[in-house]
Chain A
Amino acid sequence: MIQNWIIAGATGGLGSAIARELADHGCSLSVLATEKSREVLEQNARDLGIRSGEEVKTKVFDALKTDDWSALIDEMRPNPKEPFGVIWAAGVLSPQKDLQNDLTRAQHDHQLNYVAAMQFLEAAVAQMKPLDEGHVVALGSPAGDRGRRSNYFYGASKAALHTYIEGLQHRLATSAIRVTLVKPGPTRTRMTAGIQKPLMSDPKQQAKRIVQAIRDGKPLIYTPPIWWPVMCIVRHLPRFIFYRLDF
C-alpha cells in the first residue's frame, strides 16, 4: 500500500476516521480542511502524529477559491521521488428543500461535491504520472445511484463524481495508478447529526473497511457491503413501484 497520503476534508466524520486508520497503519499524512475547521485540523494532526510516528502536514484551503490545484498538491505531497495517494473526503449534504428554494446554494454544493473534487483529483493524477504510481480515492454515495425526490441535488453531484471516476479508471487502466470509489451508506457523523435512522454505521468501522479496500486496490466498494444489493434493487425497481415509495 502507498505510504504517503493527502486527505482533503480531513476533519469530517469519515475523513478524520480514515486519517486515523491510515495513521494507525503508520502512513505519513498531509491533511487539508476549511478555515472554519482550522483548530480541529491542528488538534487532529497532533493525534495523527502520535499514532503514525510521522510528522503531519496541515493546510487550510477553500475548495471553491483554489485556482492552482497543482501548486496545492505540490505543497502537500512528499518529495517527487516518493509515490503518494490522495483521498477526497470533503462534501456537503444540505436539506433537499433548501436547495430547491435556493439555487445559488445548490450551485455551491455542486461545486464542492463534484467540481472541486474533479479538479483536485485531476491535478493529483497529473503529478502521479511521472512516477506512474499512486492511488486516487474519492468518497461517493449510494445516493448517486438513482435520483430520489428526497435528495436528488446531493445525489446528482455524487453521480457526476461516479461517472468522472469511471472515466478516470478507464484512462488509467493500463497504468499503476489505482483509483477507488467508495460509496458509504449513512454514517453517524456531523453530516447526519439529528437524523435518526436505523442501520447507521459507525465511522470508525467504516474507515476500517475503506482502508482495507484501499489496501486491496478495489475499484468500487459499498460500505457496509449490504448497500450494493440494496442499491442494485433500487436502481432496477420499475417506475410504477419506485414512484410509490417514499424515501
Chain B
Amino acid sequence: MTSWHQETIAGWGRSRVSVTHAGDPRRVEELPDYVAERKHLVARGLGRSYGDASLNTGQAVVRMESVDRAVEFDREQGRIVCEAGMSLDDLITITLPSGWFPAVTPGTRYVSVGGCIASDVHGKNHHVAGTFSQHVNWVELLTADGSIVRCSAEDNADLFHATAGGMGLTGIIVRACLQLQKVDSSYLMVRRERTLTLQDTMRALVEGDREWDATVAWLDGVAPETRMGRGEVILGRHIGRDELPERLAYNPFRSLDEPLVDLPVDMPFSMVHRSVVRAFNQFRFSRIQEGDSFENVRQFYYPLDVAQGWNRLYGPHGFHQYQFVIGDDDAESLIGDLLYRFHRSGLVASLVVLKRFGAESGWLSFPKPGWTLAVDTPSNMRLFELLEEFDERIVADGGRIYLAKDSRLAPDRFRRMYPEYANKWLDVKRKYDPECRFSSDLSRRLRIDDDVLGDGA
C-alpha cells in the first residue's frame, strides 16, 4: 500500500518552493509500487541539495527518509551495507565507536547515503581520497522497469558510472555498500592559519595539500576592498590515541555532540544583512587561533551542524550557493574578480569556501583538478545577472558548476561543462530509462528529458 501526500517542498537554498506529490515508502520492497504509480518521479533524501535536484513540481518525489536501516556492518573490514536513506549522522553513530569513519564526507552529516552517491559529493580530503562514490563497493538501483540492479565499478559498470553523480536520474538508489576509513580516534590534529590576501590563502592551501589529508579555506566575503581574499586556512589529519593528550585519550571515540540551536520557524525577512555578516566575519577573523589543536570530527567536518535549520536565516527568498571549479591557471584572477564584483554590486557573500581539488573521476561528477569556490548569497536578481557572466567565463576556461548546488545553469553550458554527458551518460540513461520516468526540475531545466525522449517528444 502506497502513501502519497501533496506537499510543498524546497531545496536547501529555499529560493523556490515546489508543490509535488510526496511518497513515503517504509521498505525497499514497497518501492516498485511507488515507481509504478507515477509517470515521472525522483528520489529525495534529506533535502540538502541546494537547488532543484530533488524537486519535481507537479510530479512526484519519493522520500527515502524511512528507508534508512543498517543491513550489515563488518567491523573487521570496515564495510557497511545500508539503505539509501540512512544519514551520515546515523552512519557515524554506528561505525565510529568501532573505529570507522566515512572515507569522504561533505560539510554536513545530515545528508543521506543515496544523496551522497547521486551527487557524488566530495570533502575536505578530495586531493587524497577523491569523491564519495570512489569508496562505494556497490549500489543497488531500482530502475524504471521495477527491477533492482546491483552495479559497481566491475559489474554493470556503465550503470554505476552513470548513477554516481547522476542526480538520481538513472533510478532510485535503494542500498549501498560503503568502504569506510579506519580511524584510531574521533579526533584530528588541526592547524589553522590566518591569511591576509587571496594569493596568500591559495599558497597556504597548496602547501597544506602536500602534508595534510584534509584542507579547506574560509574567506571573508565582505572584507574591505584592500583585504579581499583574506581568511583562514584549515588543515587537519586524523590522529591515533597515542598522539592525544591525556584529557582526551581516556575516551578516544567520544561521540558526536547534538545540535546546539534549532531554528524551527521561517524568518519573515533575511537576517543575513551586510552589516551582520561584516560584524560576524570581523569577529571570526580576529578570533582565529593560529597554530595546532585537537578537534573532534564534529567540530572539524561539520561546523554548521551545530545550528539546525540555519538556512531559514535567509528569510522568505532564500539564498543561492554558487559553486564552481576552475583550472589552476585562471583560478586566481577569476576568484579575485568574482569577489571584487560581488563587493562592487553590493551583494553579500555571506559564506565563502575555497578548496583545491585532486584528480577527476566519474562522468557527471563535479570535481576536476583546479580550485573550487563556493559562495552563499541571499537570492536576488542582480546576483543572477552577475552569475550569467561568470558562467560564461567558467565554461570558456574549462571549468564547471556543481549540479547539487545549482538551480539556474543554462542547458547549453551544462553540455559544454560535462562532455561525458553526451559521450556516455545519455546512452546509459536511454538504455535503462527510455521513457524518462526518472526526472526532476533539474533534468527538465537542463533539457535532459528532451535529449532522452528525442526533440519534440
- Chain A interface residues toward B at CB < 8 A: 11, 20, 24, 39-40, 43-44, 46-47, 50-51, 190, 193-194, 196, 198-199, 201-202, 205, 208
Q: Smallest Cβ distance from B293 to chain A, in angstroms?
A: 28
Interface string of B71-83 (1 = CB under 8 A from A): 1110000000000
Interface flag for B454 (CB, 8 Å): no
Cβ-defined contact, B93 with A24, below 8 A: yes
Across-interface contacts of B266 in A (CB, < 8 A): 198
Cβ-defined contact, B265 with A198, below 8 A: yes
Interface flag for B226 (CB, 8 Å): no
Q: In the assembly, what is the distance between CA of A198 and CA of B5, in Å?
A: 17
With contacts A51-B94, A208-B258 taken as known, whether A194 is within 8 angstroms of B5 at the C-beta atoms is: yes
Q: In the assembly, what is the distance between CA of A198 and CA of B309, in Å?
A: 13
Q: Smallest Cβ distance from A193 to chain B, in angstroms?
A: 5
In order of increasing CB-CB distance, the 5 nearest A-B pairs are A47-B69, A194-B5, A50-B70, A47-B70, A50-B73
By DSSP majority rule, is chain B's interface helix, strand, loop, or mixed?
Answer: mixed
Q: In the assembly, what is the distance between CA of A225 and CA of B264, in Å?
A: 13
Across-interface contacts of A11 in B (CB, < 8 A): 26
Cβ-defined contact, B72 with A50, below 8 A: yes
Q: Smallest Cβ distance from A192 to chain B, in angstroms?
A: 10
5 contacting pairs across A/B (C-beta < 8 A): A24-B94, A43-B27, A190-B26, A205-B259, A205-B308
Interface flag for B209 (CB, 8 Å): no
Q: When the two chains form the complex, which single residue of A40, A190, A194, A202 contacts B6, counting CB atoms closer than 8 Å?
A: A194
What would 17 more interface pairs be, CB under 8 Å, given A193-B3, A201-B264?
Answer: A20-B90, A39-B27, A40-B26, A40-B27, A43-B27, A44-B69, A47-B70, A47-B71, A50-B71, A50-B73, A50-B94, A51-B70, A51-B93, A194-B6, A198-B265, A199-B264, A199-B265
CB proximity to A under 8 Å, residues B90-128: 90, 93-94
With contacts A190-B24, A196-B8 taken as known, whether A46 is within 8 angstroms of B94 at the C-beta atoms is: no
Interface flag for B7 (CB, 8 Å): yes
Cβ-defined contact, B70 with A39, below 8 A: no
Across-interface contacts of B7 in A (CB, < 8 A): 194, 196
Interface string of B257-268 (1 = CB under 8 A from A): 011001011100
Q: Which residue of A lies closest to B94 (CB)?
A: A51
Across-interface contacts of A24 in B (CB, < 8 A): 93-94
By DSSP majority rule, is chain A's interface helix, strand, loop, or mixed?
Answer: helix
Across-interface contacts of B154 in A (CB, < 8 A): none
Q: In the assembly, what is the distance between CA of A237 and CA of B408, in Å?
A: 50
Cβ-defined contact, A43 with B8, below 8 A: no
Q: When the two chains form the complex, which single residue of B69, B258, B259 contacts A46, counting CB atoms closer than 8 Å?
A: B69
Q: Smallest Cβ distance from B264 to chain A, in angstroms?
A: 5
How many residues belonging to B are interface residues under a CB distance threshold of 8 Å? 25
Q: In the assembly, what is the distance between CA of A105 and CA of B72, in Å?
A: 41
Interface string of B1-37 (1 = CB under 8 A from A): 0010111100000000000000010110100000000
Across-interface contacts of B26 in A (CB, < 8 A): 11, 40, 190
Q: Smallest Cβ distance from B95 to chain A, in angstroms?
A: 10
Q: Smallest Cβ distance from B70 to chain A, in angstroms?
A: 4
Across-interface contacts of B73 in A (CB, < 8 A): 50
Q: In the assembly, what is the distance between CA of A18 and CA of B8, in Å?
A: 28
Across-interface contacts of B71 in A (CB, < 8 A): 46-47, 50
Q: Smallest Cβ distance from A61 to chain B, in angstroms?
A: 19
Q: Which residue of A lies closest to B89 (CB)?
A: A204
Cβ-defined contact, B3 with A190, below 8 A: yes
Q: In the assembly, what is the distance between CA of A187 and CA of B174, in Å?
A: 25
Across-interface contacts of A194 in B (CB, < 8 A): 5-7
Q: In the assembly, what is the distance between CA of A196 and CA of B259, in Å?
A: 24
Q: Smallest Cβ distance from B29 to chain A, in angstroms?
A: 7
Q: Smallest Cβ distance from A190 to chain B, in angstroms?
A: 7
Q: In the assembly, what is the distance between CA of A11 and CA of B262, in Å?
A: 26
Across-interface contacts of B93 in A (CB, < 8 A): 24, 51
Which of B69, B72, B266 counts the most A-chain CB atoms under 10 A from its CB?
B69
Across-interface contacts of B69 in A (CB, < 8 A): 43-44, 46-47
Q: Which residue of B lies closest to A212 (CB)?
A: B258
Q: In the assembly, what is the distance between CA of A40 and CA of B1, in Å?
A: 13
Q: In the assembly, what is the distance between CA of A51 and CA of B259, in Å?
A: 21
Q: In the assembly, what is the distance between CA of A50 and CA of B308, in Å?
A: 27
Q: In the assembly, what is the distance between CA of A51 and CA of B92, in Å?
A: 11
Q: In the assembly, what is the distance between CA of A200 and CA of B239, in Å?
A: 40
Q: In the assembly, what is the distance between CA of A245 and CA of B321, in Å?
A: 42
Q: In the assembly, what is the distance between CA of A154 and CA of B8, in Å?
A: 27
Across-interface contacts of B259 in A (CB, < 8 A): 205
Q: In the assembly, what is the distance between CA of A193 and CA of B65, in Å?
A: 13
Q: In the assembly, what is the distance between CA of A137 and CA of B401, in Å?
A: 51
Q: Smallest Cβ distance from B105 to chain A, in angstroms?
A: 19
Q: Smallest Cβ distance from B24 to chain A, in angstroms?
A: 6
Q: Smallest Cβ distance from B96 to chain A, in angstroms?
A: 11
Q: Which residue of B lies closest to A200 (CB)?
A: B264
Q: Smallest Cβ distance from A151 to chain B, in angstroms?
A: 19
CB proximity to A under 8 Å, residues B21-69: 24, 26-27, 29, 66, 69
Q: In the assembly, what is the distance between CA of A24 and CA of B258, in Å?
A: 14
Q: Smallest Cβ distance from B259 to chain A, in angstroms?
A: 8
Across-interface contacts of B70 in A (CB, < 8 A): 46-47, 50-51
Q: Which residue of B lies closest to A44 (CB)?
A: B69
Q: Which residue of B lies closest to A190 (CB)?
A: B24
Across-interface contacts of A199 in B (CB, < 8 A): 264-265
Across-interface contacts of A20 in B (CB, < 8 A): 90
Q: In the assembly, what is the distance between CA of A51 and CA of B94, in Å?
A: 6
Across-interface contacts of A50 in B (CB, < 8 A): 70-73, 94
Cβ-defined contact, A193 with B24, below 8 A: yes
